[in-house]
Amino acid sequence: MAAVGDVAHLLRRAGFGATLPEVQVLAANSLDDIVAGLVDPVIAPDDPRPDFFDSPDVGDWEYEYRLQQWWLDRMATHPKPLQEKMTLFWHGHFCSQNEKVGDMKLMWDQHTLFRHSGMGDFRQLVHDMSLQPAMLLYLDGAYNTAGDANENFARELMELFTLGVGNYTQADIIASARAWTGYNVDDNDRTQFHYYNARHDHGQKTFMGVTQDWNGPDIIDYFLATNATKKAVAAKYIVRKLWTFFAYPDPPQANVDALAQVFLDNDLEIAPVLTALFLHPDFYSDTAKLGLVRTPAEFVAATLKFTGLTADDASPQWFMDDMGQNLFEPPNVAGWKNNGYWLGTSSMWRRADWAAYVAWRIYSHNQQAGATNVVQDAAMSILQGSAPSRYADAVDFILTMFGVFTPSDNTRRQLVAAATRQWNSHGWDERTWWNLVVLVMLSPEYNLS
């Protein structure tokens, strides 16, 4: 038996949130079993590319928003939410921006790689993403040729993707950039990787003190396999980032060291690290439970899940850029940040805009013939009852509906006050639950992950 609060926390982090029945059913199992179920090594077969990519006469911008919708729906409904969460993690780690790549079909290929390999062999993932056109075009490997090496990819490969700043020199970057010359896209078809031997710099290069005729993939194998010291640096770098993504920022070094050891013991397999992370006692500390703000993608996916709205209906893709997270358009190669990054006044403002839109969409559905007016019927029957606790009961109903099982006293008190005021205002009765939906979506609890 696992604690309900722990299971709810785990499902917010390893997925996008869970309903009370989902939490209660899972909580009958041990935490070990629940985590094992989440970190399922069996990868779902790759999805076929969504049909809309085959529509003729559709511009790339339409592919982009439709894939955003497709992915958000999938986050909300897919039975393997951790796979989607890891896809999101890698999208913010091995960043490509479609604004520069300019071809969503290439972004789809990268997206599929993250989904398929995101819990597998890290070294292989680095190799694979390096040679995909989405990365070659984004970090200019496509234009990296002997004689005038382009350093963009070589730098970020070490600074952001694997080792972290301070663990290489500018001379290493120059040597690596030369090693990656010739790893381009096809001159006649930029959607295909092509190695041009004649454009590769075959000269001697000194990388991390070793002089030889390095090529690109050798560079990855060197610091992620051959050189044990650098491999350990990379292990710490990646597990620190995973901890920050799943638990809270600035983890104690002991936590990083423990997970890094698991990563190294498994030759950089990712799944065992996730298991260790989700079973780490500190993952269930108050620091962790209150330690992350829901990102816009998480906020949207959770809302789609709890309301049953589809992305096509709720149109989050038109709001998310201003919330700060436009999928397939990370702000730069370092990806998105966390916590305070999402809490600018202008980005919270946009969450509020969308919350009001969601409430309106729920209300609109309630007006459709034959619709099951779940939210409205339940809320109104509570509010129209005679129980002295009817306002608090309505608040609890909406909170529970949105997966907030343990609101703070302050939040609950303020929501009850708002519901009481609205109901007794002789205003529009339905606005009582409508306003509660918006307020719950903007509450501190709902905006924490």
By CB under 8 A, residue 260 contacts another protein: no
By C-beta, is 108 or 138 nearer to another protein? 138
Q: Which stretch binds another protein (CB under 8 A): 121-129, 226-234, 271-279, 428-436?
A: 428-436
User: Whole-number minimum distance, CB 416 to another protein, in Å?
Assistant: 10
Bridge partners, 121 (sequence order): 269
By C-beta, is 332 or 386 nearer to another protein? 332
Bridge partners, 211 (sequence order): 206
By CB under 8 A, residue 150 contacts another protein: yes
Residue 307: closest CA among 376, 205, 250: 376
By CB under 8 A, residue 131 contacts another protein: no
> Hey, which residues between 266 and 305 contact another protein (CB under 8 A)?
286, 290-293
* Cα dihedral across residues 347, 349, 353, 354: positive or negative: positive
Give, to the nearest 10 degrees, the angle between helix 431-441 and helix 345-366.
140
Number of residues counted as binding another protein (CB under 8 A): 78
117 — phi, psi (to 5°)? -115, 5
Rounded to the nearest 10°, the torsion over CA 275, 276, 277, 280 is: 130
User: Whole-number minimum distance, CB 83 to another protein, in Å?
Assistant: 25
Options 22, 282, 322, 393; binder of another protein; rule CB under 8 A: 322
By C-beta, is 240 or 305 nearer to another protein? 240
User: Whole-number minimum distance, CB 375 to another protein, in Å?
Assistant: 17
> Hey, which residues between 6 and 25 contact another protein (CB under 8 A)?
none
> Hey, which residues between 219 and 248 contact another protein (CB under 8 A)?
237, 240-241, 244
Angle at CA of residue 259, ends 299 and 242, nearest 5°: 25
Residue 295: closest CA among 262, 255, 326: 326
Distance from first CA to last CA of the chain, Å, rounded?
A: 23
What is d(CA 127, CA 6) in angstroms, rounded to the nearest whole number? 36
By CB under 8 A, residue 425 contacts another protein: yes
By CB under 8 A, residue 343 contacts another protein: yes
> Hey, which residues between 402 and 421 contact another protein (CB under 8 A)?
408-411, 414-415, 417-418, 421
What is d(CA 368, CA 43) in angstroms, rounded to the nearest whole number? 39
By C-beta, is 170 or 188 nearer to another protein? 170
Whether 206 contacts 171, CB under 8 Å = yes
**Which residues, 6 or more positions from 45, have their beta carbon under 8 angstroms from its beta carbon?**
none
By C-beta, is 272 or 407 nearer to another protein? 407
User: Whole-number minimum distance, CB 209 to another protein, in Å?
Assistant: 17
User: What is the SS3 assignment for 194?
Assistant: strand
Options 36, 131, 174, 392; binder of another protein; rule CB under 8 A: 174
By C-beta, is 113 or 438 nearer to another protein? 438
Residue 24 CA to chain centroid, in angstroms? 25
Options 116, 194, 305, 350; binder of another protein; rule CB under 8 A: 350
Options 180, 222, 342, 433; binder of another protein; rule CB under 8 A: 342
Whether 127 contacts 277, CB under 8 Å = no
